[in-house]
Structure 1
Amino acid sequence: MKKYYIEIGICFLLIFLLIGCNKKEQYDDHTIVLGVLSGGGQSIEEAVATYNHSQNNYQVVIKNYGDKDDALDKMIMDIMTNSTPDIIFLNTLPLEQYVEKGLLEELTPYFEKDPECSVNDLIPNVYETMKVNNDLYFTSPGFAVFTIGAGKNLTKNATGYTIPEFKELLDSQQNKDIQPFYSQYKGHLLTTLCCYNLGDYVDWNTGSCSFDGEQFRTILQICNEWGETNLTDYETEEPELVSSGKELFVLTEVDLQNMEYNREMFRDEINYIGYPCDDRDGTYMKFNTMLGMNAKSKKKEGAWSFMRMFMTKDFQQNNIFCDWPSRTDCYEEKIAESIADTPEYKQDVDELKKIISRTHKRDRSEDTLMNDIIWDEAEKYFQGKKNLDETVQIIQKRCETYINEHR
């Protein structure tokens, strides 16, 4: 009889544990859940504190999924099966994948109804760059622009390069004591040449990719021919390498301070040619604090009340320090303030505006899992363990499988 009661007790304990483990977190109607990976950072925590202090109807709580290997899968599972998190911190997440799965709310109607925030307030090409499949799925108060600069004595009047053209230019310098970029580590070269333009090789709509094409093959060849196997510290600083003509290209963020710094390094008229890519248009926009709304959220009005805060003039005037504001009025104000503080910047304003206005590609480097696949196989090629044909075929197959498993 004693054994019988013990068995019954164990059964009840297991049932209790199963119920407890499957119990979902409960939030009241006035709590908005913001889902983040790796904490989200200090700026998002400060924004949440500011919002909560000013609100009576809603309060935002951060749900941190952490940074373990299964964190992304847990977040996706929550979004697909639950109405929370209501808001998703999209930085470092594969945006196109989320859009393809129908996980994100289209935000244009919210802007149209908002008395203070309109898409017409945004810098036109910034607004267009934020879109995915011609729809808007995230808000962002600021952005940075990344490109590559080089002296005009090298690039002449070129406005950009394809990958094969870039290789041809490097090959023409083969017998000179030069290096393409400051870091010659093969891993860094690979990141430079394919990180931002990963979207050129992937189509989430069709589930296809083209890592076995000539362009990606050429990238691997460039890295192998010009790169170093080991990551080392360099004795010579970058300004000296650039001014001496040994370093040909500089990776740069487009702002007035950097543009002045680049002029001093090159001692030559600078040509901002962008990263080499298929259409020779390799300048990329990276957005900060990208917030998307869960399409299944039951508190969309509350979610928007938090998201819209980042798009107001007051917020962007007082919180965007390192990047450029996404609103036209705040963007123009920041340029004017920069010139007032440092008059020397004025000579670069026209070029800066030109670069930013023609940028229409979003940084696509957020898919860390795909980046890991590429590096995992490319490293074997760099180490001589696999030939080029084997490498691109394996990368193609693994990435194709990954895309179709996650689209």
Structure 2
Amino acid sequence: MIKMKSNKLGMLAMGMAMLATAACSNSGSESGTNDQGKPVSAEGKTVVNFSVRESSSFFEAAEKRFEEKYPDIDLQIQAVKKAEEDWKPGDYEKYTKTTNTELLSGKGADILEVAELPFESYASKKLIANMNELLKQDTSLSGVDLQAKLEVFKTDGNLYAIPLGYFMRGFIGDGNLLADESIDDSRWTWAEFAEVAKGLMCKESESGMDRRYALANEPPDLILWEIVVDGYANFVDVSGKKASFDSPKFVAAMQQVKKMYDDGIATAEPAEVGRQLFYSTVLSSPGNLIDEIHYYFANPKLIGKPQAGTVGTRLAPSVQLAIRDNSPVKDEAWIFISFLLSEEVQSMKEREDYGFSMLDSVNENELRDVQKQVNAGTYKLPSGKKPQVSAEQFAQYEQFMRSAGYFTRIDGKVVRMIGDESPAFFSGQKSADEVAKLIQNRATTYLNE
């Protein structure tokens, strides 16, 4: 169960950059090459090396199923760390440097994870393959829902990395209080949210009810962090390596967030369950929709999150896989990636740790299973309570899962600068302009290294 600040950051970091990967040296148990120049094992099988940052039960189970289905291919998984093994200081930099060196020298794994690696640089140097043509030729992946999801994750129309799942952030309000409110939540801003929240708080106060905050247990730097993540393209030109944190838009966002706390609309202090009007949380699976959305309110309402120049729900990929462009086993590597996107693998229990499935059919089947349990009275929330979920709410959740959303690749080092510098503004130590310039200078220096 996700419980606000620390776990939110953890899940967000995991939705945007979790499971970053490591490319190991191509040192599997190969015995030579065949007449096509492809590496083969002692048994004569074509060897495909797959580099992962950490081992997992999902990849191990997928490997077993894959080799049973394709007995002529020997998939060799090379993990830098065991599952949940600690990463010591310098480990991440070491694996990134090793990956860069191997790719530039034309070596390395055939398939590699690319979260938080210099993805665009690899693509521009043609070190990783554009999988558009491979996808086009693969009739097993012609489903409209999958094609729509993959379109979201393309870079300038090119498919250099394919995710195995994704996370979304939900914004939930007290449905009982919002019943009489007319809100266009499809594109509302944080300023509009503040006005609506202020009105709701006044209404409750006038009726003699105890005070409730619009948002609680969220420090202002976290709200600002979310604004930057949701609208990253407004503040960072990735291809141009330019930052715009000294822009009026960013300064206004800082001031808007501070005003919400100064006006008592939001507080960093924790609140008891149900003592806030809205909350934001990471959603990771169909079942998680029920657990998270129905945690705080008896009658929750899933609404669009306030935005800063963006529209829709941001999708945060979990694992993203790429193929080394000069791999001699590019076709076999694609067969494995295609296999991972099949309904068989996307439905595996072990895959659920990687978020929503890339296939709507898998997500909808899981949600319908949950709906049957809820209707039968056998489904319980982590708190032990039985949720009351209407058919209309289930229909809304299904539509929410189907929404393609949008994706912007985030640089974790850049967004961490928000948390480093913005508290000085929110505490009154520095002005918004001063903090904006500090972040701008740091981001500019980093982006041009």
Whole-angstrom CA distance in 2 between matches of 1:46 and 1:345: 36
Cα distance, 1:191–1:44 mapped onto 2, change above 3 Å: farther
Determine if contact 1:338/1:345 at 8 Å carries over to the other structure.
Answer: no
Is the aligned partner of 1:125 residue 2:152? no
Asked whether 1:373 is paired with 2:403, we answer no
2:8 equivalent in structure 1:
none
1:6-45 correspondence to structure 2 within 5 Å: 26-27=27-28, 28=30, 29-30=39-40, 31-37=47-53, 39=54, 41-45=56-60
2:324 equivalent in structure 1? 294
Say whether residues 1:240 and 2:274 are aligned partners.
Answer: yes
User: 2:381 is matched with which residue?
Assistant: none
Equivalent in 121, 124, 149 of residue 172 of structure 2: 149
* Secondary structure, aligned partner of 1:296: coil
* Residue of structure 2 in register with 1:19 after alignment: none
C-alpha offsets along residues 65-115 of structure 1, whole Å, 9 cap, x if unaligned? 866251334323333333312212134446455445544311122223335
Which residue type is aligned with residue 278 of structure 1?
A: G
CA–CA distance in structure 2, aligned partners of residues 318 and 286 of structure 1: 20
Match for 2:438 among 373, 391, 394? Answer: 394
TM-score by length of 2: 0.69
Question: Residue 11 of structure 1 corresponds to which residue in structure 2?
Answer: none
Code of the residue aligned with 1:276 in structure 2: it is Q
Counterpart in the other structure of 1:181: 215
Structure with greater helix percent: 1
Is the 1:187–1:375 Cα contact (8 Å) retained in structure 2? Answer: yes
Deviation at 1:183, TM superposition (A): 2.1
Unaligned runs of 5+ in 1: 1-23
Q: Does 1:318 align with 2:348?
A: yes
Provide TM-score, normalisation by structure 1. 0.76
Match status 1:165 vs 2:181: no
Deviation at 1:162, TM superposition (A): 2.5
Q: Provide the secondary structure at the position in 1 that maps to 2:136.
A: helix
Decide which of 342, 351, 357 is 2:402's aligned counterpart. Answer: 357
Q: Please give the root-mean-square deviation of Cα atoms over the aligned residues, in Å.
A: 3.5
Deviation at 1:361, TM superposition (A): 1.0
Q: 1:209 to 1:98 in 2, by over 3 A?
A: farther
Equivalences, count: 370
Match of 1:6 in 2: none
Q: Give the letter aligned to residue 217 of structure 1.
A: V
Instruction: List aligned pairs for 1:187-202, cutoff 5 A.
Output: 187-202=221-236
1:336 and 2:381 are equivalent in the alignment: no
CA contact (8 A) 1:256 1:349 kept: no
CA contact under 8 A between 1:146 and 1:252: conserved in structure 2?
yes
8 Å Cα contact 1:40-1:89 kept in structure 2: no
> 2:333 & 2:26 partners in 1: Cα distance?
18
2:333 corresponds to which of 284, 300, 303: 303
Deviation at 1:180, TM superposition (A): 4.0
Kindly state the Cα deviation for residue 272 of structure 1 after the two structures are TM-superposed: 0.9
Residues 293, 302 of structure 2: 8 Å contact kept: no
1:137 equivalent among 160, 175, 186: 160
Q: Contact between 1:217 and 1:388, CA under 8 Å: does it hold in 2?
A: yes
Q: Residue 347 of structure 1 aligns with which residue?
A: 392
Runs of 5+ consecutive residues of structure 2 not aligned to the other structure: 1-24, 31-38, 41-46, 82-86, 206-210, 376-388
Equivalent in the alignment of 2:447 = 403
Q: 1:304 to 1:215 in 2, by over 3 A?
A: same
Structure 1 residue 364: deviation in Å? 4.0
CA distance in 1, matches of 2:274, 2:201: 20
Letter in 2 for 1:208: K
Give distance in 2, aligned partners of 1:40 and 1:93. 18
